[in-house]
Amino acid sequence: MSAGKPETKILSVPVSPGVEDFIKKRVADGGFQTVSEYIRALIRADQDHVAEKALEIRLLEAVESGNYEEASPEFFERLRARAQKGKRRAKQGGA
């Protein structure tokens, strides 16, 4: 295993001919070069969705408990910058 690149595994997933056709069409129409690229994009989107739901739960818990403070515009700018930095880091790491 190389020092800078995480180990990868190859997965095999059986799909029906109809699903295979759908995947091939999405690859062609969606600007993906390979089926693997398309599947990785789906997984990243799902990871983002799970993270957003977890954040939503935490925010709702904070609001319901009264454990929060009003946020300034500067706070949101710092938060956006942190989120973008995290996205770039995750993209570089392949996760």
Q: Considering the chain, what percentage of its residues have pLDDT values greater than 90?
A: 61
Whether the per-residue pLDDT at 80 is higher than 60: the answer is yes
Residue, of 21 and 71, whose pLDDT is higher: 21
| Domain extent listing, the chain | 17-93
**Residue 94's pLDDT band (cuts 50, 70, 90):** low
**Distance, CA of 73 to CA of 26 (rounded, Å):** 39
pLDDT of residue 70: 78
What percent of the chain lies above the pLDDT cut of 70? 93
The Cα 51–Cα 57 span in angstroms is: 10
Handedness of CA 74, 76, 77, 81 (dihedral sign): positive
Answer yes or no: pTM beyond 0.85. no
Contacts with 35 (C-beta within 8 Å, 6 or more apart), sequence order: 23, 24, 27
Residue 95 contacts residue 47 (beta carbons within 8 Å):
yes
